Chains A and B, each alone.
Chain A
Amino acid sequence: RKEVEQDPGPFNVPEGATVAFNCTYSNSASQSFFWYRQDCRKEPKLLMSVYSSGNEDGRFTAQLNRASQYISLLIRDSKLSDSATYLCVVNWFGNQFYFGTGTSLTVIP
């Protein structure tokens, strides 16, 4: 079983739609959780950390469910510029980070 699993998609949504991605992780001792965004042929960039109480940054909301071992990312009012691959990242034992394969999002005009 992979340490971090994501639905690869693709998700094709119209502008203005709300879209949600989930990610599951295998290690219940996981300590830190993040969502990264990766544009085609570019490096991943931190989108947001995921806190136990959930957190919001503008149109983006991240949630953590430790009991079920998953994290989610909700994007409201999708923009064309949101088209990218979204990577779920989990950290345990301090120094190693485990990446999901990414979920591809295309926002359609």
Chain B
Amino acid sequence: DGGITQSPKYLFRKEGQNVTLSCEQNLNHDAMYWYRQDPGQGLRLIYYSQIVNDFQKGDIAEGYSVSREKKESFPLTVTSAQKNPTAFYLCASRTISGLSTDTQYFGPGTRLTVL
């Protein structure tokens, strides 16, 4: 069954703790992305990666870190430096073939709540 999986679906964290969100895809997509969605706001890009062992900061990278050791996996760590981490986190992936139709496909998301 192909697709993008994220785990866990819900995550609760105490202030001051780091937490890692998982994202895995078996679509053989080249690029992977992490977004954050807050109520009433559009998706905001945290990090993205086009190839293994390389990634770029998005618009709101502060307080987050990522790794891309395997093509299929792009975990996101929310560190204690992130001031307002409570949000809905979405992982996406896409192929890079140069076509204008290369769009993103999303995982089901992780809802992070800081207590």
Contacts and interface: CB of A to CB of B under 8 A. Distances in A.
Interface of A: 4, 8, 31-32, 34, 41-46, 49, 87, 89, 91, 94-102
B41 A101 contact: yes
Interface stretch (B12-20, B61-69, B79-87, B100-108): B100-108
B107 A43 contact: yes
Interface string B42-83: 110100101000001010000000000000000000000000
A44 B43 contact: yes
Which bracket fits the contact residues of B? Answer: 20 to 34
Given A89-B103, A99-B43, 12 more contacts: A8-B40, A41-B88, A41-B111, A42-B109, A43-B90, A44-B43, A44-B90, A46-B104, A94-B96, A96-B48, A97-B45, A102-B42
Given A31-B100, A95-B50, A100 B108 contact: no
Nearest to B49: A95
8 contacts: A34-B103, A41-B111, A43-B107, A46-B104, A87-B42, A89-B103, A95-B31, A97-B104
Given A42-B108, A95-B48, A95-B50, A100 B42 contact: yes
Interface of B: 31, 33, 35, 40-43, 45, 48, 50, 56, 58, 88, 90, 96, 100-109, 111
What does DSSP make chain A's interface, helix, strand, loop or mixed?
A: strand
Contact of A101 (B40, B88, B103): B40
A23 to B, nearest CB: 11
Contacts of B100: 31-32, 49
Contacts of B105: 46
B42 A49 contact: no
A41 B89 CA distance: 11
Most chain B CB neighbours (cut-off 10 Å) among A43, A45, A95, A100: A43
A50 to B, nearest CB: 10
A105 to B, nearest CB: 16
A99 B42 contact: yes
